Amino acid sequence: MQEGSKATVRSAAGSGGSAAAVGRQRWALLAAAIAVFGGLYLRIFTAPPPAGFASPKAAAPAVSSAQAFYRPQLLPNSTAPSVHSATAAEISGRRLRAFWYGGSREGASDVAIYTSVFSPPERTWSPERVLVTRESAQRHLRRYVRKLGNPAVGRDRSGRLWLFFVSVSVGGWAGSAVNLMVSEDEGETWSPPRRLVTSPFFNISTLVKGPPLQFADGTIGLPVYHEMAGKFAELLRLDAEGHAVRKTRLSWGRSSLQPVIVPRSETEAVGFMRYAGDPPNRILVVRTSDAGAHWSAPVKIELPNPNAAIGSVLLADGSLLLVFNDAPENRENLSLAISKDFGTTWRIAHRFEGDPGSPQAPVPEYSYPWIMQDRAGDIHVLYTWGRSRIKHVQFNSAWLEEKR
């Protein structure tokens, strides 16, 4: 063999060895990443059982105004052609702080998270301001962000506001991750967003819509759902720093998402879910009697669900309210149902949107409701109105009593 040929052989052998070394290094890095996420995931599944739910009686509201009232209004929107998915929390001075996302369309790169504050004395909302943009999220998360999605806000035991929101780096909503920001001054300033570790599969396909809830030990329960290789719901439990310490399945399969969980006592809660399966299209319900450690299998109730989000709240008097689209196929009406037996039977009490002759949005869609009761006893409902505005309806117990 000639010397040149020997050099060629050695060069080829060296290239093959380098390629093999690079391959081994890549596999080692992948194995290390899997080990890290697997360890975090194992910690979630091996955490001790959760403490009981924080007692709803601890924050029982006072009696609302005796004179019945019902006050609808649209939130300000001077910048975004399309808005969706409102969430809100009561802050100091009986005010509400709301959040939603808006942009040129759902999933667009210009979508941002907005906020506005409602002042009860003036009965007005402040001009909306941008809280999170795709670019700011990308900068703080130190990763590419393609689009932003649903926000959900709640409080921890120390009174801080926790704002969760969805971001997507690759693909559609099935590739989502959940991020957390915290405020100690009623939402005026916020910590930089941080990505939660919720899944061992590259930490993607976790979304949020329903309100967070508190456990008696100070941990936070976060209802989440997944849209990759199925559609199913889970309850995450987060410690005081926002790290997942436990997760519990609420459902399985390909047809349940966007859970809303409503505790009634330290051990008992009911959960409602959007249904995305075969007809009949009905709201799904699950229950727990051991503080969320185990859940019953999802069952359909008599109320319809056109593959749309639901809102629910337990009032101080024990009544359970549900806001939902009262149709199996569209989101052209929005109704209020009331239950006196914690969700076993229901009665339609009011229709917010969709009555013949009532004012219609340019796009007849009324969806993604959020409902809450403030400390004075008034009830607030926020929802998407025609995809162009967020609508706020405030009413009191006296008005509701007239509907019973």
Q: Domains of the chain: which residue ranges?
A: 47-403
Q: What is the CATH number of domain 47-403?
A: 2.120.10.10
pLDDT (tens digit per residue) in 7-36: 443 444 444 455 555 455 655 544 444 444
What six digits make up the tokens of 367?
């969806």
What is the pLDDT of the chain when averaged over all its residues?
89
CA separation for the pair 161, 212 (Å, rounded):
11
Element (H, E) at 26: helix 3-46
pLDDT (tens digit per residue) in 238-276: 999 999 999 999 999 999 999 999 999 999 999 999 999
- Full pLDDT tens readout for the chain, 404 residues: 444 444 443 444 444 455 555 455 655 544 444 444 444 444 444 455 668 999 875 334 445 557 999 999 999 999 999 999 999 999 999 999 999 999 999 999 999 999 999 999 999 999 999 999 999 999 999 999 999 999 999 999 999 999 999 999 989 999 999 999 999 999 999 999 999 998 776 788 899 999 999 999 999 999 999 998 899 999 999 999 999 999 999 999 999 999 999 999 999 999 999 999 999 999 999 999 999 999 999 999 999 999 999 999 999 999 999 999 999 999 999 999 999 999 999 999 999 999 988 889 999 999 999 999 999 999 999 999 999 999 999 999 999 999 88
Q: With a threshold of 0.75, does the pTM exceed it? A: yes
User: Going by DSSP bridges, is the β-strand pair 161-168/269-275 parallel, antiparallel, or unpaired?
Assistant: unpaired
Long-range contacts of 335-339 (CB under 8 A, 24+ apart): 336/381, 336/403, 337/303, 338/400, 338/403, 338/404
Contact 101, 133 (CB under 8 A): no
CA separation for the pair 208, 205 (Å, rounded):
10
% of the chain beyond a pLDDT of 90: 79
Phi-psi domain of 368 (left: phi exceeds 0; alpha: psi -120 through 50; beta: other): left
Q: Report which of 127, 119, 120 is spatially closest to residue 69, judged by C-alpha positions.
A: 120
Beta strands in 216-346 (DSSP E): 220-226, 232-238, 244-249, 256-263, 269-275, 282-288, 299-304, 311-314, 320-324, 334-339
Contact 361, 388 (CB under 8 A): yes
- Provide the pLDDT for residue 13: 44
Phi-psi domain of 48 (left: phi exceeds 0; alpha: psi -120 through 50; beta: other): beta
What six digits make up the tokens of 208?
């949020």
Contact 281, 302 (CB under 8 A): no
- Provide the pLDDT for residue 66: 78
Contact 150, 210 (CB under 8 A): no
DSSP 367-394: EEEEEEE-TTS-EEEEEEETTTEEEEEE
pLDDT (tens digit per residue) in 359-389: 899 999 999 999 999 999 999 999 999 999 9
What six digits make up the tokens of 351?
């229709």
**At a CB cut-off of 8 Å and minimum separation 6, what does 72 contact?**
352, 391, 392, 393, 394
Torsion sign, CA atoms 73, 150, 289, 216: negative
